Amino acid sequence: MRKEVDLMLFDFDGTLVDTAADLACAVNHALEKLNLPPKPEIQIIGYVGDGVRQLISRAIGEANADSIDTALGHFTEYYGDHLLDKSTLYPHVKETLDYFSMKKKVILTNKRLRFTKIIADALGITPYFDDMVGADSTPYLKPDPRIVDYVLLRHGAARDRTVIIGDGTNDVAVARNAGVSCAALLNGLGAREALLTMKPDFCCESLLEIQSIFY
C-alpha cells in the first residue's frame, strides 16, 4: 500500500550523489600530510555518516587524536578543490525528483552545507529542492531528532506525512527518533546488512523504487 507524504527529506552522500572516490582521496591526502599510511576506499567509506570530524577522527585513529584539527584542515582544503573530480549522481535521481515535483523536498545531510551546495549546483539538482540543511546549519546532526524537528517547523510539515530517504543507519535512526517514516536505500555508501538489521519502514534497491511507495 502506497503512503501519502507532503515532505521528503533526502540524505546526500550515498543517496543522491556517489561521493565515495572524492571523499576517500581527500582523507588519504590528509593521512599523507600526517605521514600516515593510506587506507582503502571501502574502509574510509565505512567511516562516513557522522560528519567530517568523526570521519577524520576514525581515519587517523586514537593514537593520532591530537592531530585531528591539522588533519581536518588538510582534508577541507583538498576536498574543496577536488569534490567534483569523480562524484556523480546515482541512477534515476533527476527522474525521481522530477516525479515528485509537487512535493516539498529538502536535502538533510551531515555533510557541511557549503560542500553540499557546490556539488548539488554542479550536478544540476539544486532547483529540485526547497531547502538544504547541512552539518553546520543547526547545532544538531543526525540521528538527533531535533534536526528533523527543525525542518518540520521550518516547512510546516506533519510528522505522519514526512519521510526520510537515505542510505545510512543514521537516516533510519533519526527517522525513528523523530517519529517520521524512513525509506532505506540498500545500494548506497551505507552498510546493507546494518540497514536491514534496523528494520526500516521501507527498503529500496534504487531510488526509482520510492515512486511506487510514496505519492
Cα 184 to Cα 196: distance, rounded to the nearest angstrom? 8
Report the distance separating Cα 41 and Cα 33, nearest Å: 17
CA-only gyration radius of the chain, Å? 17
Among residues 6, 11, 98, 167, the one annotated as catalytic is 11
**CA 83, 44, 18: angle at the middle one, nearest 5?**
45
Handedness of CA 33, 36, 41, 45 (dihedral sign): negative
Q: Residue 188 and residue 168: Cα distance in Å, rounded?
A: 8
Active site residue 22: no
Q: List active site positions.
A: 11
